[in-house]
């Protein structure tokens, strides 16, 4: 098979699988994301339902940990060291995620779900990334965003 | 709300996807960095052409793209061929100086394990984002919930009407700027990086989770 076509099919399959998972898990649902970040402390029914996504995400990390150890132990995956913007950037992202109920993947999934308001979120995300690139060049920050 | 995957199915699907993405695509799974590429399309296309030139062994085309990239990154650069030629060895490594990120070592397949693939062309990433949207559409259509709003919780706790669009755009700005600054999102840091115990990812994930919890509790407290 032609290399470009193969790449499109591979990336398409990955995108579709991630999109379906995010949507089916409720990671693109504002209320579900809100309950996840409430840790069962905020409003809404406490207990298992409010911890569903928390356990889901935690379990996924544990599973990924085991998977990488078993299947990719010696693989040359790019490292992610602590950098100057690690904490400040993550704090901004967390606040934005809680407000919009959308991480970057979820914003796109919401759009697919026909949630028109996600267009505003997505416009904000693109503007934010663009602004960071401008600031990075203006103030000579090093470049270290994750490639994908 | 019901109708969502139980926690164990969510964990199984996301965990499998994270590891499966690396094993098949041979790139760490991430979304924020891919999205950011589309805010500088011209430069990224130049980069893609540079990678293609490296792969084809086309030295002249490589110098051309390298010069264009250098100009975009640093403003005016003299059209001195010697200057461009000097820079060639740096980028001649496949996946060398990516406009999107880190200097990646050219990693030949060795006995030590699978190497990281170069950044896919912008078109393949567009397919990735488009199918991400399609995945959401598929589930919403199957549920019969296509076209619903963000839901009553959002309206009650954040904002309703046109004001909500302002909040979403502002929040999106935080997401876009923040993920660019910390170098990853819930996928790149939260799943892949944390799954590999990367220090930057562990710290990022702790920080964005803490900020999200604080913001969420503040929203609930504000409404009372």
Nearest-angstrom CA–CA distance, B23 and A48: 33
CA distance A82 to chain B (A): 4
For every residue of chain A, which 3-state class applies, written as one string? CCHHHHHHHHHHHHHHHHHHHHHHHCCCCHHHHHHHHHCCCCCCCCCHHHHHHHHHHHHHHHHHHHHHHHHCCCCCCCCCCCCCCHHHHHHHHHHHHHHHCCCHHHHHHHHHCCCCCHHHHHHHHHHHHHHHHHHHHHCCCCCCCCCC
B101 touches chain A (CB under 8 A): yes
Spell out the per-residue pLDDT of chain B, length 224, in tens. Answer: 448 999 999 999 999 999 999 999 999 999 999 999 999 999 999 989 988 888 788 888 778 877 877 776 665 544 444 444 444 444 444 444 445 544 444 445 455 789 999 999 999 999 999 999 999 999 999 999 999 999 999 999 999 999 999 999 999 999 999 999 999 999 999 999 999 999 999 999 999 999 999 999 999 898 87
CA distances from A64 to A79, B5, B53, B112, B215 (A): 16, 18, 35, 20, 28
What percentage of chain A carries pLDDT values higher than 90?
A: 83
Residue A112 and residue B136: Cβ atoms within 8 Å?
yes
The predicted pLDDT at position B111 comes to 56
Tokens encoding B81: 């061929």
In chain A, residues with a C-beta closer than 8 Å to the C-beta of B148 are 113-115
Which residue of chain B is at minimal alpha-carbon distance from A118? B168
Which residues, given as ranges, of chain A have pLDDT below 70?
Answer: 1, 42-49, 144-148
For A47-68, write each residue's pLDDT tens digit: 566 789 999 999 999 999 999 9
In chain B, residues with a C-beta closer than 8 Å to the C-beta of A51 are 7
A6 touches chain B (CB under 8 A): no
First to last CA, chain A: 24
The predicted pLDDT at position B56 comes to 80
The predicted pLDDT at position B76 comes to 53
Q: Which of B162, B179, B197 would you mutate first to test chain A, the one with the most A CBs within 10 A?
A: B179
Nearest-angstrom CA–CA distance, A103 and A125: 9
Residue A99 and residue B138: Cβ atoms within 8 Å?
no
The predicted pLDDT at position B83 comes to 46
The predicted pLDDT at position B120 comes to 94
The predicted pLDDT at position A144 comes to 59
Q: Cβ(B71)–Cβ(B84) under 8 Å?
A: no
The predicted pLDDT at position A41 comes to 74
Reported ipTM: 0.94
Q: Cβ(B69)–Cβ(B50) under 8 Å?
A: yes
B15 touches chain A (CB under 8 A): yes
pTM: 0.86
């Amino acid at each position: 098979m032609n290399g470009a076509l193969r790449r499109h099919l591979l990336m398409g399959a990955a995108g579709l699988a991630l999109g379906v998972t995010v949507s089916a898990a409720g990671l693109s649902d504002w209320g579900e994301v809100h309950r996840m970040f409430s840790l069962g402390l905020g409003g809404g029914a406490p207990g298992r339902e409010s911890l569903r996504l928390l356990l889901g995400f935690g379990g996924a990390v544990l599973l990924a940990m085991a998977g990488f150890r078993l299947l990719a132990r010696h693989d040359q995956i790019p490292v992610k060291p602590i950098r100057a913007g690690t904490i400040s950037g993550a704090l901004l992202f967390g606040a934005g995620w809680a407000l919009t109920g959308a991480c970057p993947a979820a914003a796109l999934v919401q759009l697919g779900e026909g949630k028109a308001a996600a267009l505003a979120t997505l416009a904000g995300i693109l503007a934010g990334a663009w602004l960071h690139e401008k600031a990075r060049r203006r103030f000579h920050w090093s470049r270290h965003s994750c490639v994908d | 709300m019901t109708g969502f995957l139980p926690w164990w199915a969510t964990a199984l699907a996301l965990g499998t996807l994270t590891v499966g993405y690396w094993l098949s695509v041979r790139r760490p799974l991430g979304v924020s960095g891919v999205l950011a590429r589309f805010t500088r399309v011209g430069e990224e296309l130049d980069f893609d052409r540079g990678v293609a030139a490296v792969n084809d062994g086309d030295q002249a085309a490589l110098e051309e793209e390298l010069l264009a990239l250098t100009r975009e990154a640093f403003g005016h650069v003299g059209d001195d061929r010697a200057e461009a030629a000097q820079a060639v060895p740096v980028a001649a490594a496949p996946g060398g100086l990516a406009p999107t990120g880190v200097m990646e070592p050219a990693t030949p397949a060795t006995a030590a394990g699978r190497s990281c693939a170069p950044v896919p062309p912008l078109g393949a990433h567009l397919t990735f984002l488009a199918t991400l949207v399609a995945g959401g559409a598929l589930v919403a259509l199957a549920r019969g919930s296509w076209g619903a709003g963000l839901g009553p919780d959002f309206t009650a706790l954040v904002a309703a009407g046109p004001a909500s669009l302002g909040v979403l755009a502002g929040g999106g700005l935080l997401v876009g700027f923040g993920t660019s600054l910390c170098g990853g999102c819930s996928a790149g840091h939260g799943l892949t990086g944390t799954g590999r115990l990367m220090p930057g990812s562990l710290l990022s994930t702790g920080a964005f989770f803490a900020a999200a919890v604080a913001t969420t509790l503040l929203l609930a407290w504000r409404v009372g």
